[in-house]
Amino acid sequence: MRLAKRFDIAARTLGATVGAYALAALVAYALARLWPGSDAEAVVTGTIVGVLAMPAAAIWMFGASSIRRAWGGLALAGGVATIITWAAGLPT
C-alpha cells in the first residue's frame, strides 16, 4: 500500500476516534449549558445528543471525499460547539 494511502487512513482513523470523542464532549457541554429546565434534564439531553454526534462524526470522517474535507467538517462542527459554549457563559 502506498504511503499516502496509509496516511489518509491513519488521519481518518485519528479523526474518527479522538476527534469524534472531542466533538461529542463539546456538543454535550454546549447543549447542557443551553437546555432550559432542570440541570439533570440538561445534562442527560446534552449527553444523549453528544453520544449521537460521535458516530455521526466518525461516519463523516470516512465518508468525506477528501481528508481536507473530512477534517474541515470536524473542525467546523467543533468550532460551532465551542462558540455556542463560549457564548453561553460560565456556569453559575
Task: Locate the domains of the chain by residue range.
Answer: 3-88
**Positive or negative torsion for Cα 78, 84, 90, 92:** negative
Query: 92: pLDDT confidence band, cut at 50, 70 and 90?
Result: low
Is residue 76 over pLDDT 80? yes
C-alpha triplet 9, 15, 21: angle, nearest 5°: 145
Query: 69: pLDDT confidence band, cut at 50, 70 and 90?
Result: very high
- The pLDDT of residue 89: 78
Run of H or E residues at 67:
helix 67-88
User: Distance between CA atoms of 77 and 59, rounded to whole angstroms?
Assistant: 14
- The pLDDT of residue 23: 95
- The pLDDT of residue 91: 64
User: What's the start-to-end Cα distance of the chain, in Å?
Assistant: 54
Is residue 14 over pLDDT 90? yes
- What does the block give as the cell for 57? 462524526
